[in-house]
Structure 1
């Protein structure tokens, strides 16, 4: 199915190359890099599937790192995209904050993981529990040992414990002194907002992430107060689909550790917890811009880690915008201005970013498209709530915790 996988940085340089069905020339990478350059710095707008004369180039992008699959036959694109997404997720679990520098430092482990996750071009082993039993997570000790004894020492000689378990995604004989399970409901808002504040398109993509630290083989039943607000659901293989279709209840034997139990899209109305009001004006060779950021009365929680990005066009120069709140940074090479605000409370006055810039009067003035990111702890934009979590076949006492988190995803504000 998949001929080769290339992992590239944002400049199109190859970090990792893995061929499964013969060697593919790197000219396909050059074709993909041309598409990346066209959309720079908006890498998320690169088409996920690119058709060339000989191959299909399918990719996902994480933190400026591109996971590119080269396919020579007709396949279901979503299958390849899901595989690449799982590869990116497992790499993040192994290496922490995934970026090109971390991959270069751990490229041997990356090759070993790709070898286990794909067999002859077909997805094979994508369970993090099994992979961590086979290939050690990089740390200072095994990295030092690898420098002394060679790179192969990170592969364990014994079979994973999960091969002895009756469920392939869970280790056998798991034991904890304190049994705990934590459930995180994570909502991500995507929207395109016009200059008058109206939303052209909007959606909430949610996920339920579970961190399971329970002994034995627990059989869990999770009930929601309002399961009807979810649609386009995607489940972890541990979930009994028939039980959900019949009762709207999640029954599952969880993997050990952290995993994504469920992904969904919310049906409800979208309530943006933040607003961004930009204004720009042009005169002969100069321009002025102001951006106001404030909170809306949809939650009493603090809006944290606010990041406003303003990509000025290439015909602008001398960009000088300042604010009394947060930090402002402008890259003269990419013309990208970033404004970071640590947090805003509902009663806090709305901060303003303002200043001027110069532009080439012989060219046509171009209005930039702003983007904003943020996080809101202990608040769910979708409104999804957990009703109960029941442990059926184990008798020990255990602690349960539920937390909500809302993040700003792909939010664009047009001028």
Structure 2
């Protein structure tokens, strides 16, 4: 796939390199800075793949460095090449914390070892950090030696030569448990009149495995219609589809431990889990939903005097549900002062560094409505009314025991054929605000 991998600074100068094949001269990297400048001049968006004299440069930028993969093959999978570079950054972050020019120079020994293990003859091999950390350590900057003096040869963990490379053998727990969290984040843009302009559900199924041996898990969900009939076996992603309830699935991706052939044929999720925490699957839904936490914010600006803000918040969820840690951030002009608040629930605070009022409500039961009023002075005013802030209101919240999409876990079966132990699966549901849950003001 790759003839060589280079680490370059922002000027394109080589910091560190690893060559896997000899079909590209070492001087080819010297052309990379020129190609980068030419691409920036031609277009505002630089493509992630450039070519020159039959050499193809695939690259990504991270902090103050470029990671460049070079090849002569025209049939290369560019997406796979870029995915490897991003995965390389994730692995290096586990070892050196911050991946930047200085850390690359200070830790070149461990980076060379990782490059040798993660790729063989230009083909990706081991990319699981848990497996790499078993025999490549950060403290010693060298491979762990065998305990026997007569054998100093480094032996890779046995699981690297097996089909289950993400889980070592010999794991033992006194209490065998599996924790599964279904977390859905809601991104939404709402007009001042309450109309939903854009909505999106980003879902994740997280698993914490504390199981002995080599367990085989089977996960059953309440609606198979949420999944597509065709899944890309290369990376676990699936094309869009529509299920009976008209929920349109935009994206679906599984962890590598899931048996994709089994899922494609029978729509059953079976897997041997890694030990500890991992993300089993994630998905995205773009479907019209009503606002879970709705805020009606009205801002009145009085010339030469003050600004008044009235906020009415409503929890538009089922009465048996409760929104926790609700935080409503209302923007205000930069030069306000002398804040005065009137409210009966939660706490209100003016944050001048953010030019905003933050209203926090610890528990917000479904079906309830709360209100808050604020009055602030405007010292620097003119005869013309002060323009209102164009920034929207931001809302944060968490709703336990609830999913917006309606996904429910019907069962999580654990089978360990050798140990035959009794396991204890636990399931939690959380719906929370995403990074972009905003409401426009009037």
Q: Same fold by TM-score, threshold 0.5 exceeded?
A: yes
Q: What's 1:397 paired with?
A: 422
Mean alpha-carbon deviation: is it higher for 113-122 or for 175-184?
113-122
Deviations 1:325-376 (A, max 9, x none): 3344444344244333222123654142523353855675433211111111
Q: What's 1:412 paired with?
A: 438
User: Where do residues 67-216 of structure 1 align in structure 2 (5 Å cutoff)?
Assistant: 70=66, 80=82, 84=86, 115=111, 126-134=127-135, 152-153=139-140, 157=144, 159-160=156-157, 162-163=159-160, 165-216=162-213
Q: What's 2:406 paired with?
A: 383
Distance 1:87 1:321 in 2: 49
Q: What's 1:221 paired with?
A: 218
SS of corresponding position for 1:356: strand
Deviations 1:33-64 (A, max 9, x none): xxxxxxxxxxxxxxxx96499999967xxxxx
Whether 1:294 aligns to 2:319 is: no
Match of 1:233 among 247, 252, 262: 252
Deviation at 1:71, TM superposition (A): 6.0
SS of corresponding position for 1:242: helix
Deviation at 1:396, TM superposition (A): 1.5
SS of corresponding position for 1:350: strand
Deviation at 1:241, TM superposition (A): 1.3
Distance 1:279 1:344 in 2: 21
Distance change >3 Å, CA 371–CA 131, structure 1 → 2: farther
Q: What's 1:310 paired with?
A: 330
Deviations 1:163-221 (A, max 9, x none): 36541111121111111111111111011010011110101110111111111111222
Deviation at 1:384, TM superposition (A): 0.5
Whether 1:252 aligns to 2:275 is: no
SS of corresponding position for 1:243: helix
Deviation at 1:153, TM superposition (A): 4.6
Mean alpha-carbon deviation: is it higher for 178-187 or for 330-339?
330-339
Q: What's 1:320 paired with?
A: 339
Distance 2:330 2:8 in 1: 33
Distance 1:90 1:290 in 2: 49
Q: What's 1:264 paired with?
A: 283
Unpaired segments ≥5 residues, structure 2: 18-28, 37-43, 51-57, 71-76, 146-155, 228-248
Mean alpha-carbon deviation: is it higher for 71-80 or for 401-410?
71-80
Deviation at 1:273, TM superposition (A): 2.5
Bigger CA radius of gyration: 2
Distance 1:113 1:202 in 2: 47
Contact 2:192/2:296 (CA < 8 Å) preserved in 1?
Answer: yes
Distance 1:86 1:337 in 2: 42
Please give the root-mean-square deviation of Cα atoms over the aligned residues, in Å.
4.6
Distance 1:351 1:53 in 2: 50
Whether 1:355 aligns to 2:375 is: yes
Contact 2:91/2:127 (CA < 8 Å) preserved in 1?
Answer: no
Matched residue count: 354
Q: What's 1:9 paired with?
A: none
Mean alpha-carbon deviation: is it higher for 78-87 or for 195-204?
78-87
Mean alpha-carbon deviation: is it higher for 69-78 or for 122-131?
69-78
Q: What's 2:303 paired with?
A: 284
User: Where do residues 358-373 of structure 1 align in structure 2 (5 Å cutoff)?
Assistant: 358=378, 361=381, 364-373=387-396
Contact 2:171/2:211 (CA < 8 Å) preserved in 1?
Answer: yes
**Which TM-score applies when normalising by structure 1?**
0.68
Contact 1:173/1:216 (CA < 8 Å) preserved in 2?
Answer: yes
SS of corresponding position for 1:215: coil
Distance 2:85 2:348 in 1: 38
Distance 1:292 1:243 in 2: 50
Unpaired segments ≥5 residues, structure 1: 7-17, 29-48, 60-65, 137-150
Contact 1:185/1:405 (CA < 8 Å) preserved in 2?
Answer: yes
Match of 1:339 among 359, 366, 370: 359
Contact 1:304/1:376 (CA < 8 Å) preserved in 2?
Answer: yes
Q: What's 2:21 paired with?
A: none
SS of corresponding position for 2:206: strand
Distance change >3 Å, CA 337–CA 248, structure 1 → 2: same
Distance 2:347 2:64 in 1: 35
Distance 1:357 1:123 in 2: 62
